[in-house]
Amino acid sequence: MQLRFVGSGDAFGSGGRFNTCFHLTGARTNVLIDCGASSLPALKGQGVSRNDIDLVLITHFHGDHFAGLPFLLLDAQFGRRTRPLTIAGPEGIAMRLTQVMEALFENSLKTKQRFDLNVVSLSPDKAARFGDVSVTPFAVVHGDSGGPFLGYRIEAEGRTIAYTADTEWTESLIPLGRDADLFIAETYTYDRPVKNHLSLKALEARLAEIKPKRLILTHMSDDMLERLGGLPYEAASDGLVVAI
């Protein structure tokens, strides 16, 4: 299996990076994890076939993780997609998707789609299966608006991929990431506390309890990007592809 960091940036495009969007693929797996506003041009620029994606997992409803969906769906319609597509995310996702579609492309939902679209709500600690992919959501902490907020533990083809999503430190990150083959962690700052976000130092303090087999940092502000050369950890970059 492999994971491509299509976009690894924060909401402000720090370092000129695209918004969050990861592409997980394997013999029987084709999943998009988050779809920020800039995701469609990033996917096209990196040669990712959008019509082969079976499942899109959304962690929360902030624009840098969610607002690319209308563009992805419009691209699918005009690209003559026929393959069914499932979009799964926190409770309220069907209503939120309708709202953002109408806000960005008014009346677009009145057009009959060429493909079946299935929208699924996920709840913390309740595993869901999508074909060969099992997804366990964990509640994370990222403020009072744009939620509910979920991190994901994904099991597919004998591998476990965990993603914190945007969150401050919360105890749920321990079972979410424990012993994962790949643990993707937001580290927005190096050591400066920022409400609703995770610093590298806060993560480091509990990393021994998580014990991931591989850790990659993402969603970094300029504060973190300026320090990358001196850190003992792998860091995501747009277009980076890692084998799992």
- Active-site residue, from 64, 125, 132, 144: 64
Give the rounded distance of the alpha carbon of 202 from its chain centre.
Answer: 21
- 222 is a catalytic site residue: no
Rounded Cα distance between 190 and 236, Å, is 15
Token pair belonging to 56: 């899109």
Rounded Cα distance between 199 and 173, Å, is 13
Q: What is the set of active-site residues?
A: 64
